[in-house]
């Protein structure tokens, strides 16, 4: 994407901010475009003071009220990031609070797969036709990887053979969201499954390091439409509920990973709040707020939260003579 045209009193600072983000390894093209809307707002309002005040961000937020909540959040979040950048050299600079939205009643609900659901899906994927082809192993390994790591489906499609590092039990995600690269540690079982897939894959295709990790029946990179169609057939075969607009979806495997990871931490007695930044980094999020979208209060999770609270009450309140 070509560079945006900036003309406000903060144009130079905005351009330096955009350049800095790009130097950090992100494309930042779409965010730069969103920031240009704020630049245009400043020009139209005749702002000449090279410092952002609370009144300015509040006024800008009001101009976004006609947009969908998610669009409002995206535009406002970029402005907040820019304000944080300015505050590093200007202690008096204003940094607005995070944008708050109310969940829309029309928002797509997230389906959290149960362990039994996952077992059924993997078993069904392993029986896909044609018999003797790589296809069943491709889908079984792909779905298992999405569930066990929570990586995005596009990130999985973009993986090459060389991105799997068996010696360090990790994946290197080159084409993450906003082109942000990251390392994803793997469990021993996931690493073993990928190794077995590569061994099976070598009988059908060349093992060149820069070749796609997951192959279709023509030994080319997977693409979403045929994978989506196959996944829908697997859902039907497994007896899982299907709705045209509400899922379950492949992307819900990412939601399931986040919820199940949280559940495992509760069961292990870990400090969940301290580990949420780990989860955000692992999933490729820039902040915890993005990770919160993937967390849902399932019955199992609420049970663990209740159990921990009860244990805390017994240890720290009742033992000291407290009362409810």
Which residues are known to be catalytic? 152, 177, 251, 254, 285, 294
Cis check for the bond before 160: say yes or no (omega within 30 of 0): no
Among candidates 115, 133, 111, which has minimal Cα distance to 204?
Answer: 133
Two tokens, residue 305: 């939260």
Strand ranges, E, within the chain: 164-165, 170-173, 182-185
Name the strands in the sheet holding 182-185, side by side, starting at the edge strand that comes first in the sequence: 164-165, 170-173, 182-185
Cis check for the bond before 167: say yes or no (omega within 30 of 0): no
**Angle, alpha carbons 222-223-224 (nearest 5°):** 130
CB–CB of 229/177 below 8 Å?
no
**Angle, alpha carbons 98-108-267 (nearest 5°):** 75
């Amino acid at each position: 994407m070509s560079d945006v045209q900036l003309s406000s009193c903060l144009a130079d600072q905005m351009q330096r901010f955009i350049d800095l983000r790009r130097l950090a390894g992100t494309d930042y093209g779409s965010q730069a475009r969103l920031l240009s809307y704020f630049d245009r707002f400043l020009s139209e309002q005749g702002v000449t003071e090279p410092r952002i005040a609370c009144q300015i961000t509040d006024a800008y937020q009001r101009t976004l009220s006609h947009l969908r909540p998610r669009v409002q959040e995206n535009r406002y979040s970029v402005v907040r990031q820019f304000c944080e950048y300015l505050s590093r050299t200007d202690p008096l600079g204003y940094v607005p609070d995070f944008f708050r939205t109310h969940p829309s009643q029309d928002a797509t609900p997230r389906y959290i797969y149960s362990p039994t659901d996952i077992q059924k899906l993997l078993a069904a994927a392993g029986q896909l036709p044609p018999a003797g082809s790589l296809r069943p192993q491709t889908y079984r390994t792909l779905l298992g990887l999405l569930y066990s790591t929570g990586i995005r489906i596009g990130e999985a499609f973009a993986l090459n053979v060389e991105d799997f590092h068996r010696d360090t039990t990790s994946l290197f995600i080159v084409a993450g969201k906003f082109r942000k690269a990251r390392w994803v540690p793997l469990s021993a079982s996931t690493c073993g499954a990928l190794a077995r897939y590569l061994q099976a894959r070598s009988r059908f295709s060349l093992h060149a390091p820069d070749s796609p990790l997951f192959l279709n029946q023509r030994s080319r990179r997977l693409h979403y439409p045929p994978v989506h169609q196959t996944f829908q057939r697997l859902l039907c075969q497994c007896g899982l509920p299907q709705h045209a607009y509400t899922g379950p979806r492949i992307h819900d495997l990412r939601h399931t990973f986040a919820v199940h990871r949280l559940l495992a931490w509760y069961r292990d007695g870990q400090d969940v709040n301290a580990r949420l930044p780990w989860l955000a980094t692992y999933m490729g999020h820039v902040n915890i707020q993005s990770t919160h979208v993937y967390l849902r209060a399932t019955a199992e999770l609420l049970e663990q939260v209740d159990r921990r609270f009860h244990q805390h009450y017994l240890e720290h309140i009742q033992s000291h003579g407290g009362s409810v």
